[in-house]
């Protein structure tokens, strides 16, 4: 992948504003994120059971913002949270960033 292809992902710093479980799913959490846009971005991620919603609010994460919208459990997700390989128990893990990074910063 060259630099131009990498930029197409639209990687941005996102601050988690709110998190809640997705009704009818035992894995999905619905995130509301500040990624430097006029309105918060809604993204779903299958990390319920690994993290509690309240423990995630205020954290900074890496967001791929140019991902096509996807419907999961009847709810639209508009991006992807970047994670790391599963831990030894097979749980997906999010990639957290330093608090001093500004929401919306572009990663290039």
Q: So what's the pLDDT on residue 87?
A: 75
Q: So what's the pLDDT on residue 90?
A: 78
pLDDT in tens, the chain (108 residues): 788 888 888 999 999 999 999 999 999 999 999 999 999 999 999 999 899 999 999 999 999 999 999 999 999 999 999 988 777 787 888 999 998 999 999 988
CATH architecture of the domain with range 3-97: Beta Barrel (2.40)
Predicted TM-score of the model (pTM): 0.92
Could you write out the DSSP letters of every residue in the chain?
Answer: --HHHHHTT-EEEEEEEEEEEPTT-SS-EEEEEESSSSSPEEEEES-BTTB-HHHHTT-EEEEETTSPPEEETTEEE-SEE-EE---TTS--EE-EE-TTSPTTPBP-
């Amino acid at each position: 992948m060259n630099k131009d292809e990498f930029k197409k992902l639209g990687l941005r710093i996102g601050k988690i504003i709110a998190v809640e479980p997705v009704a009818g799913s035992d894995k999905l959490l619905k995130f509301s994120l500040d990624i430097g846009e006029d309105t918060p971005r809604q993204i779903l991620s299958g990390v319920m059971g690994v993290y509690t919603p309240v423990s995630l609010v205020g954290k900074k994460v890496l967001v791929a913002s140019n991902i096509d919208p996807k419907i999961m459990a009847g709810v639209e997700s508009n991006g992807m949270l970047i994670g790391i390989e599963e831990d030894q128990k097979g749980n997906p893990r999010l990639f957290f960033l330093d608090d001093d990074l500004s929401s919306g910063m572009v990663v290039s």
